[in-house]
Each structure stands twice: as C-alpha cells, then as structure tokens.
Structure 1
C-alpha cells in the first residue's frame, strides 16, 4: 500500500515487542502524549546541554591561546567525535541496551564538558570537546533504536520527527540560558549549564523501561547470530542506494548553515540582520516537525522526502539572485521550510530499513553515512567557493539537493514494512 493507516485506524503490530511500563507497539490506542516525558524529555535536555556550549567553544578556545583556525578546528572535533564513534556506539548499544547507552552518553558528555571547563590547556579542552562528540553518537543511536522498537510503525515517523524536533528546540534555547550565565559568571558558566542539561537527560533516561522482546515462537528456527559484518553484507544494497541519498541530504543540510551567513556578508548586510535572517529560518524549521511526521505516517515517506529536498534545492538556486534583506529572507525562509518538513526523515528511513536483530549495527552504519555527508558538505562548499565563487558554490549545493530529491524518490519504497528479522 502507498499510505499508512490513520492514527485512529492503526492496527496492532502482532510481531512487535512489548515494553513494560510504556505503551506497547501492539496497543491500537497508542498515543505519543503517553510517552512524551520519558521519550522526548531526555532529547530536549541533551540538546539544551549541547546548545549551551556550542557558541562558547570557539571563544573558550581563543581564550586558551588558539588561533582562529585552531578554534574552528576545535569546534570541528565535536562533529568528528560523532562521526568516528557511530560504529562503536552501535556496539555499546547492542551490548548494554538502549537505556543504559543513553545514560552512559549523558555521563560521558558531562565528563567531557567538565574536562573542557576545568582544564587550563588547549589540548585537554579539545579532548573534552571530542568526548562531547562521542556522546552524541551513542545518545542519538540509542535514542533512535529505542523509539524504533517502542513505537508502532503507524506512529514511527511522528515519533522520530518529534525526537529530532525537540532536540532542535533544546539546542535553540540552550544558548539563551548560557548567555545569561556567561553574562553573570563568565565563559566557564556556559559549561556548567551544559553539564546540568546532559546529566538531567541521563537521569530521565535511567527511568526508561527496558525493551523486552517476546519469546521465540515454538516450531520456528531461531534467527542466526548477527554481527557487524553480516549486517553490512545483508544490507549493502540499501547502503549503496538510499544510503547515498542520505549522504547528499546531510551534506545539503550542513552546507545550508554556512550559506545563509556567507551570502548575507556578500550582500554587505549588517551582522544583526544576518543573525535575524538565520534565526527566522531556524525558527521556521521548528514549526514543521510534527506535521511532517504525520504526513510521512499517513501518506508515505516520499511525500515529505522529495518536497523537502526540492524546496531546499530551488531556494538555494534562487539565493544568488537575491539582492537585499527581504529577498534573502524569503530564500532563507524557504530553506527553513524545506529543512523543517524533513525533520526526522533520515532517522525514519533508517528505522524503516533496520532489521530487528542487529538493529543497532544497522543504525550505526546509517548514522555514519549521515555524518559523512554532514562533514563533507561544508568542506565541498569551501572547495567550490575557492575554485569558482560563492554564488557558484551555493548553486552547486542547490543542484545537490535536487539530486538528493531524485534519489530519494527513486529508492524510498512505497510501503513501510514493519519489523524484519
């Protein structure tokens, strides 16, 4: 079928595991509101904690004697820590389970922030930032894996879109709290705010009920043991097709963060106006995550995936033709709409294709592909700008978004399968 049942008509998933203490995936009356605090509270707080420190990291690095380029590299270490630890994160989640992986991620992030703020040298500060990135990988993978199992397929996109949305909300409000703390107590206070946020996320995560899988049906052969190698082999076609589309989506999303301020500078807009445009675009994104998830659940993933990339692609192609505040604001708003309706898309597609046995391994590879795109996108943009021009680099990003739309339209299946073995 090409569409999902409406929430009111959602049929039970007989093969889904039971989650004691939380709504079961076989519950036809399932409601996201029933699990809102336990499922999404940690994401809000984890995003809040990280958002509190991100604007302060380059400033702290500069205070510790880093050059401008070195300060930028320290910021990059957070993303690099996430990229390099997606596969280890899958092993941790498989061994400890989702709940304890979430708790461990919060504690590890707090330790990294503490190392950064208590150290008096650039090297330990950078090491602490890398630890924060490592915790991102573990937390995001475990959270996605948990909701994939705990939420019925008919509500999956809404749950994962909301997961991504509340994380963005947390990262949006975190800097405001850290700004107040920095104003009152100095730069290190931002890390104190971040530590409180991630530890609170770990505390709520510790109260999550463990997922309990149903006993193996009598008369059926037990599933073969899975390993990282077998997951790669069994799902290589998905990784090489739809996975490549995910790389492009992530590259476009990461590049857009640099495109708006760079083009604002090209138009010689005041920094305050550039910040306003960027803020409005980011605020627009947060309005669409739940409606987008509902559309994905009711109509199918293609109905959001393809329009998301088309809107961003067209807006990027139009951006070099903007000539002032109003026209750039319109283009940036369109980018925000496109990115907002795609909230949770990558997580949802990963959950749709992940097998029940070895899910964490699959999601580790999936998140690795996403992080590769997120890391390579801005680097490619930099190369294009250096080799051609800023307008040429932005246009190339738009073409990349259109290519992503074509690939997602081609490779996203019309049906959303339930749980696979």
Structure 2
C-alpha cells in the first residue's frame, strides 16, 4: 500500500473541539455572560418592587428552582426534537423571560420571569450536555466537558463586571437585562445559523470508515464502499438513533441503580460546591471582616477554581475519573472541616484566606466531572432522558446545600454547618471510590 492509499486519520481533540465552538462553546459563553450579568440584580429589583429581604431571597432562588424543575422536561424535549431545536426554543422562551423582567408591573410577574429563565437554562444546559455526550469520543470526553464547564464559569465570572459597567453607563438595571436579551438573540442565531459540527464529524467518520473498508477489501476507491451502517464517533454513536426511544420515567426506572448510587454521589459533590459559595461570605462576616476583604478572598478562590478547569479534564482523560473526583472531594471536605475549627482563633482571617484557596483548588479539580460522569453513565443511543434525571439529582444537591447550611447555622452555629459539609465531602469521596469503578468505563 502506498502512502496515498492510507486511510485518513480521524480528527484529533483540538480539531473536534474547535468545531464545537460555534454551536456549543460560543453560545455557552454568551448565555453565561448574560445570566451572570442579571444574577446579582434579581434581589435588588425584587426589593424595589416591594419585597422584603426574605422575599427578595426567595425571588432570587426562583432561578435555581426553575432550573431544577426544567431538567426532566428538557430531557423529554431533547429526546423528541433534538438538541439544536431544544436550545433554540429555550433561547426564545428565555428572551420572553427577559422582556417580562423589564416590563414586570409587580413582584409576581418578575418572579415568574426569573423562573422561566431558570427553566430555559436547564433545557439549554441539558441539550448541550446531550450533544457532547453523543458526539465526543470517550478518549477526550472529559476535556471537552471540562472546557464546557470552564466556558460557563468564565461567563458567570465576567458577567457581573459587564453589568456594573452597563449600570454605570446607562444609570439603571434595565441595561443589564437587555444585555442578556442581546446575548440570547446571538445564542439563537449561532445555534440555528452557525456551522453544524455534527455534519462535519459525520463526513470525517464516513470517509475514515469507507477508506478502512476499502483497504480491507483491497479497493482503493473508498467512495464505493459505503455500507450504510450508522457512523460512530469513537465509541459513541452519532447516527445510531433508530432504536425505539424510552420515556423519561421509564429511563429513570431502568437506570435506578446508577442514579441511586453514582447519582447520589454526584449530588453530594454538587452540594459541597454550592455550600462553598454560601459558607465563605458568611464566614467572613462572622469573623468580622469588611466587605472588600471578603470579596477579595472569594474572588481569589474563584480565580483558582477557574484556572484549573482544563487541568481537571486532562487528569480525567489520562488517568481516569477517580483521579479528579477523589482529590476534589477530599480537599473540599478537609477544607470545610479544618475551617470549622478556626472561627475563634486569633489568626482567623489568615485561616479563612488559606482555606478559601484550598476550597478553590478542590472545586477547580472537580470542574466538568458532573458533566463527564453523567455522559459516561448515560445510554449512548438516547442519553437525554437519563441526563434529565442525572441533572435533576445534581441540581437538587446544589439547591439543598444552602438551605442546610442556613438551618444548621440557625440551630447550632456556622462552624457546625461547615463541619457537616466537610463530612458530606468525605462521605461523597467514599461513594465515588465505591461506585465509579462499577458504573464508569475507563477512557
């Protein structure tokens, strides 16, 4: 066989991930930018519409509640109409939610608009997750999904600064809300009109498979060796969706073993992550630090978290999922437990800064792992219904953690709450060590 007869190489990680930029990474960044811009403003606008502090916090939680409620319907939608149309429809409905936020005559309409945006965020996120699950080879799945998580974190990190600049420029919160609307319009355009990475991947894989078949048959005309079989991307079917689809609840029941074991472990990771965002600011207030110092510590912790997102994917792809999950959970569990014993020390502020950094490292090492484990455990022929259940579990863990911290702090103390979260981290690490080898294939 001469060199020209060799079958073409499959595209590498960089080439495949680059093709996802117009439909996945670009829209994710835009959506996160807009969401990050409005997130700090929701309680402020609610208070202006007449809410007291508790009610304003409740309106702010409508975003999380909407996201929690949207996962299972989103799984149904993706399974029926596909990822691209689900993302586009979610973008349009979220745009209506943005309009509702701007023109809301009262608190009820405003809260409903926030809920709709959270609901659509769930649909948008699940569609991206499902798309990547079925289109990215297992060999670099973790890097692809860690990059997706890092893109979202970048948008959420930069969004509040964009919002602050817009408010300073235009003198009102409406400018930031309309900025989210512009981001959503760009998202819809990219999803519907941008280049389709799936089509390019199908062509690459079809050429590779045809050339390989021709080489085995001694025929150097690969264009005549099409078997008509489903094309695959690595070990993940792309066109193989002819199997009869199962409903969301039937899928939940069929996969109850993995959801009740690995899914609960993933929910514990989500809970520890979410608790970090609540405990650190409250801890700074409790030990008497000013707002600027607290913001600096939380910001440094977030910067460390963001800096490690791609390293997490590299570790998972090269060494396995446990090599990211276990260090992340153990670091965060130890960080919370150690922090719990520093509240009354003379150098409490120094320990606060140090353990804030430790929690940032642990969270950064876990970047993308919930997406990756969900993709690994999902049935490859029709992952969307399973991912709807998976994301409901993980979102529930993240939603319950702040409530648990608040309840424990009220009943005992913030130190006890931090210690409990630390214990959850260690229990979650044990659950990952037990269930990941059983349910997750090696990359």
Q: TM-score, normalised by structure 1?
A: 0.89
**Paired residue for 2:196?**
209
Q: Does 1:393 align with 2:376?
A: no
Q: CA deviation at 1:67?
A: 0.8
- How big is each residue's C-alpha offset from its partner over 1:324-365, in whole Å with a ceiling of 9 and x where there is no partner? 332211100110110011011111000001112331000000
**Paired residue for 2:310?**
290
**Which structure has the bigger radius of gyration?**
2
Q: Does 1:198 align with 2:191?
A: no
Q: Residue 181 of structure 1: which of 149, 153, 166 is its match?
A: 166
8 Å Cα contact 1:312/1:334 also seen in 2: yes
SS of aligned partner of 2:279: helix
Task: Tell me whether 146-155 or 226-235 shows the greater mean CA deviation.
Answer: 226-235
**Paired residue for 1:239?**
259
Work out the CA distance in 2 between the residues paired with 1:189 and 1:29: 42
Q: CA deviation at 1:201?
A: 1.9
- The within-5 A match list for 1:111-130 is 111-130=96-115
**Paired residue for 1:299?**
319
**Paired residue for 1:264?**
284
Q: Does 1:132 align with 2:117?
A: yes
Q: Residue 48 of structure 1: which of 6, 12, 33 is its match?
A: 33
Q: Which runs of 5+ in 1 are unaligned?
A: 1-23
- How big is each residue's C-alpha offset from its partner over 1:166-221, in whole Å with a ceiling of 9 and x where there is no partner? 1010011111111111122212111011111222222212225274789667xx9x
Q: CA deviation at 1:252?
A: 1.0
C-alpha change, 1:34 and 1:98, in structure 2 (3 Å) is closer
8 Å Cα contact 1:289/1:343 also seen in 2: yes
**Paired residue for 1:16?**
none
**Paired residue for 2:12?**
29
Q: Which runs of 5+ in 2 are unaligned?
A: 1-7, 207-227, 231-239
8 Å Cα contact 1:116/1:124 also seen in 2: yes
- How big is each residue's C-alpha offset from its partner over 1:285-337, in whole Å with a ceiling of 9 and x where there is no partner? 11011111011001000000010010001111111233333221110011011
Work out the CA distance in 2 between the residues paired with 1:416 and 1:268: 45
- How big is each residue's C-alpha offset from its partner over 1:381-409, in whole Å with a ceiling of 9 and x where there is no partner? 11211221110001100110111111011
C-alpha change, 1:390 and 1:416, in structure 2 (3 Å) is closer
RMSD: 2.1
Q: CA deviation at 1:103?
A: 1.4
8 Å Cα contact 1:66/1:122 also seen in 2: yes
Task: Tell me whether 168-177 or 353-362 shows the greater mean CA deviation.
Answer: 353-362
Q: CA deviation at 1:418?
A: 8.8
Q: TM-score, normalised by structure 2?
A: 0.84
Q: CA deviation at 1:225?
A: 3.9
Q: Does 1:329 align with 2:353?
A: yes
Q: CA deviation at 1:74?
A: 0.5
Q: Does 1:319 align with 2:339?
A: yes
Aligned length: 392
8 Å Cα contact 1:228/1:361 also seen in 2: yes
- How big is each residue's C-alpha offset from its partner over 1:58-110, in whole Å with a ceiling of 9 and x where there is no partner? 10111111111111000100000010111101111112211111112222222
8 Å Cα contact 1:300/1:414 also seen in 2: no
SS of aligned partner of 2:437: coil
8 Å Cα contact 2:328/2:366 also seen in 1: yes
C-alpha change, 1:240 and 1:176, in structure 2 (3 Å) is same
8 Å Cα contact 2:329/2:425 also seen in 1: yes
8 Å Cα contact 1:87/1:365 also seen in 2: yes
- How big is each residue's C-alpha offset from its partner over 1:119-160, in whole Å with a ceiling of 9 and x where there is no partner? 221111111100110111101100011111221111100000
Q: CA deviation at 1:118?
A: 1.4
Q: CA deviation at 1:274?
A: 0.6
- The within-5 A match list for 1:90-129 is 90-129=75-114
**Paired residue for 2:222?**
none
Work out the CA distance in 2 between the residues paired with 1:125 and 1:235: 38
SS of aligned partner of 1:226: coil
